[in-house]
Chains A and B, each alone.
Chain A
Amino acid sequence: MERSIGSLIDATERREDGASEALFEALYHELHRLAKRELVRHGFPVSISATTLLHQAYLEMAARGGTSFPDEARFMAYTARVMRGLIIDHARNRLAQKRGGRFELTAIASDIAENAVDGQELARIGEALDELAKAEPALAEVVDLKFFCGFSFAEVAAMRGISERTVQRMWQKARIYLHRSISSGLSP
């Protein structure tokens, strides 16, 4: 029997062995499923923002999880990291497609072409974030929420119960770290 997201969050907070990995897996699976469903439902051409997806995910999982389900802020804290993984995988996937791994139709070419940050760069940012999370997990979390999930400073501040100014500073600091990391990674 699979464990519910709610119980996995509890287990993670109790630092049970393997709980956080299981939680990541479960959330990833759930987000992926939801994304596909939403995309199919709304048709083509369409995309879905991470923020929308997360809100949707919270509403659904909370409805299933019942009264014991964690509040939205706590939920987002765990899910933001997962969202990062999903987005990076998604971008990598697109990269593979652009290189001609699969069918390519003119109808979808424009859909693929745009977008500023490419998959490789995102992946490097992801790796740097993992490093940062070891040193200052709070900073990494702010980046996940702000950059990968698309929440505003005000929203992140409300979630963490700190001032917007503090969030902004954390974000700036993290950004310096990340840029340093990926730049030094580029030039040996």
Chain B
Amino acid sequence: MFNSQSWQEVSPYLDRALAMPEEQREAWLVSLGGENPALADLLRSLLQEHDVLSRERFLEETPPPISAAQALTGQMIGAYALVAPLGRGGMGSVWLAARTDGRFERRAAVKFLNIAIAGLGGEERFKREGAILARLAHPHIAQLLDAGVTSSGQPYLIIEYVEGDDIVRYCDAHRLEVGARLRLFLDVLAALAHAHTNLVVHRDIKPSNVLVTVDGRVKLLDFGIAKLLAQESGSGTPTQLTRDGGGALTPLFAAPEQVTGGPVTTATDVYGCGLLLYELLTGQHPAGPGPHSPLDLVKVIVETEPPHMSETVRPAAAGAETVHARAAGRAATPDRLGRMLRGDLDTIVAKALKKNPQERYASAAAMADDLRRYLAHEPIGARPDTLAYRTAKFVRRNRTAVVLTGLAVLAIAAGIIGVLVQARTVRAQRDFAFRALGRAQAVDQFNVFLLSDAAPSGKPFTVNELLARAEHILNLQRTKNDANRVELLATIGIQYSIAEQDTQARRVLEEAYSLSKGVWEPTVRADAACNLASQLARSGEFARAESLFQEGLHELPNAPQYSIARFNCLRRGSEIAQELGNERQGIARLEEARRVLAQSPFQSDWDHMLTFLNLGEAYRMAGQNDKAIAEFEKADALISSTGRQETQSAAVILNDWALALQQLGRPLEAERLLRRSIDIHRADQTEDAVPPTVLGNYALILRMLGRLDAAADYVERSSAKARRTQDQVALYHALYTGASIYFDRHDFVRAGAALRELEPIMLHAFPPGSDWLAALASQQALLAWGTGHPEQALRLADQGVASVETEMKVKGQGDYLLPTLLLRRATILLGTGRPAQAAADASRALAVLQARAQPNAFSSYLGDAWLALGRALQSQEKAEEARAAFHAAVSHFQHTLGPDNPRTLDALQLADGELHHR
């Protein structure tokens, strides 16, 4: 190596030497050598070296580029390490990957999809699709194990690794005869039928996607991937021609509708199966031997009826040698092969290859039925009304259905929102709006099924009628697919549950559960157990509910594809705990669900939204309203960011959020949220679509704000609608709120009427000692006092307070109600000339409220308590203390009711009045 000194010395001379023309260098070196021979020698040797290096082009090659094989090998994708690239397809690159769990090694294929999923909801959609595909568990479908997006934003799928040959090559290599080929092909159809009943269309059936393993098992690859790729190009329906990012893709296996941009349905897969079978049986594509230009192919696909298979195997068709070889490859002579294909097989394939999707087999199952009949020598063509057939019909109609059913879906959704808000109040404070919401996605799919097949056309119908029909239809199905049946039963059961038809719900969910025992898919078994568990908890069978929930959880292996099922089970588990009144465990299970979701590759915004909402509800039920509000805020932000801020779900969030604020004594904020909720419900100009409970909640908030006329108006609308829809729960809420409003307006006649109607309903609905009855007693006490019956008033007020105190002692519940009852009693005590006792009650109410509130938080309830205390002190001539109390009330009212609110101004006047007194 150079030492730096010698380089420093030689460096400027080297510059000069290299700068001068070569022929002058020697003369220059000679003259330099006269002064400094050592330097000249060094320079000479360096320049010689330079010549050699130039000749050898030293360092002129660019170093090796960075290649994928090295850069990526060993990189972890999910739980798998990349091992080696396998190849590259239209969708992107494919890698062999391995997962090592101790000594056990599991291989998988990782597909990097060549799509940009940045942008509006792209990642969300990708994961949602991934979740659907992951649920396609079938022995003849290569299982999707995981899906996700790498840290650098590249979406990938991890798929069961299948080693095998494509089905056409496999059959040819094994010289399989026609019957054997058909039996193998039936496995392809079985896999597709399974996918079709799950509303998944493959979209890209071709030999390279249908492999046969060395032990002869069929495996379908790349389910739905074509859809993932297609979606990326946005709204337009991309055809197979345009799909491959500009790269020419021969539409050899495209169906006519894929070329023309028509809707892709299960019939598209049937067409693909027709092509595949054609090639399997005849050894050639219906378009004849290639190569074809894409343009010619399009013409053939869209216009030309394919020749009958039996014609293509005649010697005249394709050269005697080829025809003989093909027949021999199928253990037949050309004549014999022609005879076998003529007739039924020609008919079956021709039907699958119809240009018009409506004229094809409606699904893979229908095609399989005919092939089986052919193999069993039965007449073909009769198609029973199978579930797969129905579902297929629906998928085909999907597009129009979405448009057509706007009205009907609204009818159902309105019904659901009605009952869900209703459900919340049935158990007084234990409401489960989220129960319904959590199932909204299932409901969507189910609506689609109901509206396509179960709905009577053109007639109005109720949810219950629809459910009965759906059940009836399901009972008629002779489907062999138990997993599918379990899921549909579950959907029906859940719908019954939402509609509060607990007996029906339980019956159907029990059936689903016992049927699920014979299904091998863990998610189906877990779902069935957990769904039933939740329903049992609703009807009070807690022990069995809990054990079913645990059973469901244990069904699920600890792998990413089960994470969403685990998430759902944990949510059910939380419902059970909450039904049981164990709020802490309810919250713990939801927090666990949240953790599972966060680690799931299939998480969606929707699931996150549900988690926020459920946790909000759970915290609210546990009296932790501040935490609840934080969750509702997140739920609202998320639902808005996904463009669903106008949906029923958003309305539910707003309603629940408003109730949490109301409980904290923040009616001003609650009013704005409920207003938004009502606006969402109000489809047109009228408020007919707004559920009575929401109207009642709004009345309650308006009353807190002192807007008594508007409050009375809304509470009347609420009770009227509750009567019209026979909604008992909404009705007693409205009557109770109405009684308070009328009392505030000194309209004792109406208040009395409301309470008289309310009393028998409550006595019937609630057991003695319940908080609702205590609330009723205190409301009656106020009325008795207002109508001049002080003794009765005090007795009732005492009764209310004592009842709540007992419940607090015995069950540890009801403390939320105590301040209200104390303040009402204080009002009566003061009105009947007992200011000291009134002050004691007000002080106690204040203490309870303060203990519960966050430090320095403002609450209208605290304002109420300070106001009551101030009045009691005023009557005791304690002017100084009274003034302080009034000022405190003003401060709370200003922040929670607004500075211009009449109640704030009243309190202000009292505070100032005290000042004038002095």
Contacts and interface: CB of A to CB of B under 8 A. Distances in A.
B249 interface: no
A177 B11 CA distance: 10
Nearest to B70: A94
A169 B15 contact: yes
Given A108-B84, A108-B85, A39 B71 contact: yes
Interface in A95-145: 97, 102-103, 105, 107-108, 111-112, 114-117, 122, 125, 128, 131, 134-136, 143
7 shortest interchain CB distances as A-B pairs: A43-B93, A37-B152, A44-B85, A47-B67, A115-B64, A47-B65, A39-B68
B754 to A, nearest CB: 60
Contacts of A184: 1
Interface string A169-188: 10011011111110011000
A49 B87 CA distance: 20
B19 A169 contact: yes
A107 B112 CA distance: 18
A108 B69 contact: yes
A77 B72 CA distance: 27
Interface residues of A, number: 59
B236 interface: no
Interface of B: 1-2, 4, 7-8, 11, 14-15, 18-19, 46, 49-50, 53-54, 58-59, 61-75, 83-88, 92-96, 112, 114, 150-154
A143 B81 CA distance: 36
B59 A147 contact: yes
Contacts of B63: 50, 87, 91, 117, 122, 147-148
A40 interface: yes
Nearest to B16: A169
B50 A176 contact: yes
Given A37-B154, A49-B62, A97-B73, A177 B88 contact: no
A35 B66 contact: yes
B88 A181 contact: no
Contacts of B58: 175, 179
Contacts of B7: 135, 177
Contacts of A14: none
Given A36-B75, A103-B73, A111-B69, A45 B53 contact: no
Contacts of B92: 40-41, 43
A179 B72 contact: no
The interface residues of chain A, by DSSP majority, are classed as helix
Given A175-B53, A176-B14, A90 B19 contact: no
Interface in A11-60: 33-37, 39-50, 53
A125 B58 CA distance: 12
A93 interface: yes
B8 A135 contact: yes
Contacts of A108: 69, 84-85
A65 interface: no
Contacts of B93: 40, 42-44, 46
13 contacts: A33-B151, A35-B66, A39-B67, A39-B72, A44-B68, A49-B65, A90-B70, A97-B73, A112-B69, A131-B4, A172-B18, A172-B50, A175-B58
A38 to B, nearest CB: 9
A36 B71 contact: yes
B100 to A, nearest CB: 12
Contact of B69 (A41, A45, A176): A45
Contacts of B95: 44
From B50, B70, B86, name the one whose CB has the most chain A CB atoms within 10 angstroms: B70
A47 B15 CA distance: 37
Given A48-B65, A169-B18, A43 B112 contact: yes
B84 A87 contact: no
Given A50-B62, A169-B19, A179-B58, A45 B70 contact: no
Given A97-B73, A147-B59, A90 B153 contact: no
Contacts of A116: 61, 64
Given A36-B72, A44-B85, A180-B2, A173 B154 contact: no
From B49, B65, B73, name the one whose CB has the most chain A CB atoms within 10 angstroms: B65
A41 B1 contact: no
Nearest to A88: B63
A149 to B, nearest CB: 9
A67 to B, nearest CB: 23
A86 interface: yes
Contact of B71 (A90, A128, A131): A90
A147 to B, nearest CB: 5
B85 A53 contact: no
B333 to A, nearest CB: 41
Contacts of A180: 1-2, 46, 49
B485 to A, nearest CB: 41
Given A105-B84, A176-B53, A181-B2, A41 B114 contact: yes
Contacts of A112: 69-70
